[in-house]
C-alpha cells in the first residue's frame, strides 16, 4: 500500500500507524503523530480504494453503509501490509498504535474486530461500528480511545456507545471522549487523546 515511513527518534519507541479520512492522504495525520508521541516511528498509510477520486480504505454503498465484503478484504489487505512493513522497517509489531480519523478509524476498528494482535493501542477519532454479527477476538491486551461527537451527523452517540460496548465485551480497555463539534476532529479532542496516551493507558 502507498505509505510514508518515519523512523523512531529513540530506541524502542512504539510505531504510530496513521489512517486518514475519506479524501485524505498519508500526510494528513502527521501533525497528530507529533502531538501524541514525537519520539515514535510513523507508518502512515493511504487507502487503496478511490471514491470519485477520493482515497478511502474500503468501499461503501452509501454514506454510512459499508460494502462488507470489500471491508473484510481490505481489512486483511491492510493487516498483511502491516506485517510486511514491520519486516521491511524492522519494527516491533507488538508496539503498533493505530491513529485513525473517520474512514481511517473505521478500518482501524475493523482490524481490531478481526485480529487480536493488530494494535496494542488505538486512537479512533469519530469511528462507527465497522461490522455487526462478528465474534471479536480476545482484546484484553488492547486499550482504545474513542473520540466522538454528541451531535455527529455521521455517527450517532448510540453507535459510539455500541462500539465501546463491543470492544469492552471483547476485553479491551476503552475510554470515550465526547465533543460537540459534529464529525470534526478538534484540537481539544487531539489533546484528550494525547493525555490518554501519555497517561499510559
Residues β-bridged to residue 179: 149
Which of 14, 16, 17, 22 contacts ligand MLT by CB under 6 A? 22
SS3 content of the chain, % helix, strand, coil (to 5): 35, 25, 40
Pick the catalytic residue from 44, 95, 102, 110: 102
Q: How far apart are CA 143 and CA 184, in angstroms?
A: 23
183 is annotated as an active-site residue:
yes
Is 103 among the residues that bind ligand MLT (CB under 6 A)? yes
Q: What is the DSSP string of 96-132?
A: EEEEEETHHHHHHHHHHHH-TTS-SEEEEES-----S
Which of 154, 156, 176, 194 contacts ligand MLT by CB under 6 A? 154
Shortest-Cβ-distance residue relative to ligand MLT: 103
152 is annotated as an active-site residue:
yes
Which of 11, 12, 52, 63 contacts ligand MLT by CB under 6 A? 63
Minimum CB distance to ligand MLT, residue 141 (Å) = 26
Q: Which residues contact 26 (CB under 8 A, 6 or more apart)?
A: 2, 3, 4, 18, 20, 44, 45, 46
Cβ closest to ligand MLT, residue 107 vs residue 144: 107
Is 60 among the residues that bind ligand MLT (CB under 6 A)? yes
C-alpha cell at 170: 471483547
Residues that bind ligand MLT (CB under 6 A): 21-22, 60, 63-64, 102-103, 106, 128, 154
Amino acid at each position: 500500500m502507498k505509505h510514508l515511513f518515519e523512523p523512531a527518534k529513540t530506541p524502542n519507541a512504539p510505531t504510530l500507524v496513521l489512517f486518514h479520512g475519506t479524501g485524505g492522504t498519508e500526510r494528513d495525520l502527521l501533525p497528530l503523530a507529533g502531538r501524541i508521541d514525537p519520539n515514535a516511528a510513523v507508518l502512515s498509510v493511504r487507502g487503496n480504494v478511490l471514491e470519485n477520486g477520493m482515497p478511502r480504505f474500503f468501499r461503501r454503498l452509501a454514506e454510512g453503509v459499508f460494502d462488507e465484503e470489500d471491508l473484510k478484504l481490505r481489512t486483511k489487505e491492510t493487516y498483511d501490509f502491516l506485517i510486511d512493513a514491520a519486516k521491511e522497517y524492522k519494527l516491533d509489531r507488538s508496539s503498533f498504535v493505530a491513529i485513525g480519523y473517520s474512514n481511517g478509524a473505521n478500518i482501524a476498528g475493523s482490524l481490531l474486530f478481526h485480529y487480536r494482535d493488530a494494535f496494542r493501542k488505538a486512537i479512533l477519532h469519530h469511528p462507527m461500528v465497522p461490522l455487526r454479527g462478528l465474534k471479536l477476538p480476545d482484546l484484553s491486551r488492547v486499550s482504545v480511545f474513542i473520540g466522538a461527537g454528541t451531535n455527529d451527523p455521521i455517527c450517532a452517540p448510540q453507535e459510539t456507545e455500541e462500539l465501546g460496548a463491543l470492544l469492552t465485551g471483547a476485553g479491551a480497555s476503552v475510554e470515550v471522549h465526547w465533543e460537540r463539534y459534529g464529525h470534526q476532529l478538534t484540537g481539544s479532542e487531539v489533546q484528550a487523546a494525547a493525555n490518554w496516551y501519555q497517561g499510559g493507558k
